[in-house]
């Protein structure tokens, strides 16, 4: 897997990462969602440099020229709920993308430290020979990404796969590296070293779904 760890090079991205991590600033849910969206825009821009381009003729009022424009074969898939603002950020740049949504949530067992990933909702166009972008802001154990990828398999074989995430734990990055092919790309803003016993990224930011949309009752 090709891992693109973007905050290794300091940039304006770090300001948005600082705001979603900061325990005071992150409580403003509108700002939290917008910052995830802005990070999605930056990750999408970086990802766009690796897409396939065709030369197309553009006619201005004065003349014409050839421009390199990317192939319009993107399917953007995100994982509910925390994936929604990241999806919006990517869609802000990939105007013509087709869209897929899936739900993957942690179903906790009696022991709070163990959980299963439940994939329930799935709405997806054909993925055959398309460029699949699979987006989820948190890559903790990596199980949601892998379970979603398994659930998408009946929809066809993409020609390229790009995973997009905001904060990952090294363990989750290793897990997706083992489970996605060597040609797959991971575009990630930050990689933290630890995962706690409940599967939360340390230092991370807390619960991205709750920060964006409010607390939910455990199932």
Ligand X SMILES: O=P(O)(O)OC[C@H]1O[C@H](OP(=O)(O)OP(=O)(O)O)[C@H](O)[C@@H]1O
Contacts with ligand URA, residue ranges (CB under 6 A)? 82, 138, 140, 199-201, 204, 207-209
Asked if residue 17 binds ligand X (CB under 6 A), the reply is: no
Question: At closest approach, how far in Å is the CB of 162 from ligand X?
Answer: 17
Q: Which stretch binds ligand X (CB under 6 A): 29-37, 51-59, 78-86, 186-194?
A: 78-86
Which partner from the list ligand X, ligand URA, Mg ion, none does 204 bind, CB cut-off 5 to 8 Å by kind? ligand URA
Q: Is 199 in the site for Mg ion (CB under 5 A)?
A: no
Interface residue with ligand X among 26, 35, 131, 141 (CB under 6 A) is 141
The residues, ordered by sequence, that sit 6+ positions from 6 with a Cβ below 8 Å of its Cβ are 13, 42, 43, 46, 187, 188, 189, 190
Q: Pick between residue 72 and residue 198 the one whose CB is nearest to ligand X.
A: 198
Distance, in Å, from the CA atom of 159 to the CA atom of 166, rounded to the nearest integer, reads: 24
142 belongs to the binding site for ligand X (CB under 6 A): yes
Site for ligand X in 151-210 (CB under 6 A): 172, 199, 207-209
Residue selected from 39, 43, 140, 166 as contacting ligand X according to rule CB under 6 A: 140
Please tell me whether residue 37 binds ligand X under the rule CB under 6 A.
no
Total residues interacting with Mg ion, rule: CB under 5 A: 2
Nearest to ligand URA of 158, 168 (CB atom): 168
Measure the CA angle with vertex 112, ends 19 and 29; round to 5°.
Answer: 25
Residue written as token pair 């993107």? 74
The answer to whether residues 185 and 4 touch, using CB atoms and an 8 Å cutoff, is yes
Q: Does 78 bind ligand X (CB under 6 A)?
A: no
* Residue partners of 188: CB distance under 8 A and separation at least 6: 3, 4, 5, 6, 43, 139, 163, 164, 165, 166, 167, 168, 173
Q: For 95-202, where are the alpha helices, taking DSSP H only?
A: 143-152, 170-179
User: Which secondary-structure segment (H or E) carries 168?
Assistant: strand 160-169
């Amino acid at each position: 897997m090709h891992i693109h760890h973007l905050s290794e090079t300091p940039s304006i991205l770090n300001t948005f990462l600082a705001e979603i991590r900061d325990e005071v600033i992150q409580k403003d849910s509108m700002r939290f969602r917008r910052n995830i969206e802005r990070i999605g825009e930056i990750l999408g821009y970086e990802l766009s440099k690796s897409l396939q381009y065709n030369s197309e003729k553009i006619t201005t009022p004065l003349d014409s020229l050839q421009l390199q424009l990317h192939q319009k074969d993107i399917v953007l898939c995100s994982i509910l709920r925390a994936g929604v603002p990241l999806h919006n950020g990517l869609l802000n740049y990939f105007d013509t993308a087709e869209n897929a949504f899936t739900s993957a949530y942690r179903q906790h067992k009696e022991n709070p430290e163990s959980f299963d990933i439940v994939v329930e909702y799935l709405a997806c166009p054909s993925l055959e020979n398309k460029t699949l972008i699979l987006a989820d802001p948190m890559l903790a154990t990596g199980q949601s990404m892998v379970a979603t990828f398994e659930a998408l398999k009946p929809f066809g074989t993409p020609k390229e796969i790009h995973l997009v995430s905001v904060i990952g734990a090294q363990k989750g990055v290793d897990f997706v590296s083992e489970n996605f092919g060597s040609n797959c790309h991971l575009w990630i803003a930050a990689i933290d070293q630890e995962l706690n016993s409940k599967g939360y990224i340390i230092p991370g930011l807390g619960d991205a779904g709750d920060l964006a949309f409010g607390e939910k009752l455990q199932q």
